[in-house]
Structure 1
Amino acid sequence: MSTEFLNIETDIVKALKTVFDPEIPVNIYDLGLIYEIEVREEGKVRVVMTLTSPNCPVAESLPEEVYDKVLAVEGINEVELNLTFDPPWSKDMLSEEALLELGLL
Structure 2
Amino acid sequence: MERDFLRDGREADDLSELEDGMVQVMRTIYDPEIPVPIWDLGLIYGWTIEDAPEADGKDVTVKMTLTAPNCPAAETLPAEVEQGVNALEGVAHAKIDLVFVPSYSMEMLSDEARLTLGFM
TM norm structure 2: 0.80
- Whose helix fraction is larger, Structure 1's or Structure 2's? 1
SS of residue paired to 1:73: coil
* More strand by percentage: 2
- Kindly state the Cα deviation for residue 80 of structure 1 after the two structures are TM-superposed: 2.4
Alignment partner, residue 101 of structure 2? 86
Q: Distance in 1 between matches of 2:75 and 2:110?
A: 24
Residue 71 of structure 1: aligned partner? 86
- SS, match of residue 34 in structure 2: coil
Q: Is the 8 A contact 1:9 1:37 kept in 2?
A: no
1:29-69 Cα deviation digits (max 9, x unpaired): 10000000222224111100000001100111111111001
* Match in the other structure for 1:40: 50
Query: Aligned equivalents of 2:50 and 2:19: distance in 1?
Result: 10
- Measured in 2, the distance between the counterparts of 1:80 and 1:22 equals 21
Return the match for 1:11 from 1, 18, 21: 21
Does 1 or 2 have the higher relative contact order (CA < 8 Å, sep 6+)?
1
User: What is the identity percentage for the equivalent residue pairs of Structure 1 and Structure 2?
Assistant: 48
Partner Cα separation in structure 2 for residue 10 and residue 54 of structure 1: 28
Contact 1:8-1:39 within 8 A present in 2 as well: no
Find runs of 4+ consecutive structure 1 residues off by over 2 angstroms.
none
Residue correspondences, number: 102
Q: Which amino acid aligns with 1:6?
A: S
When the two chains are superposed, the root-mean-square deviation of aligned CA atoms in Å is: 1.3
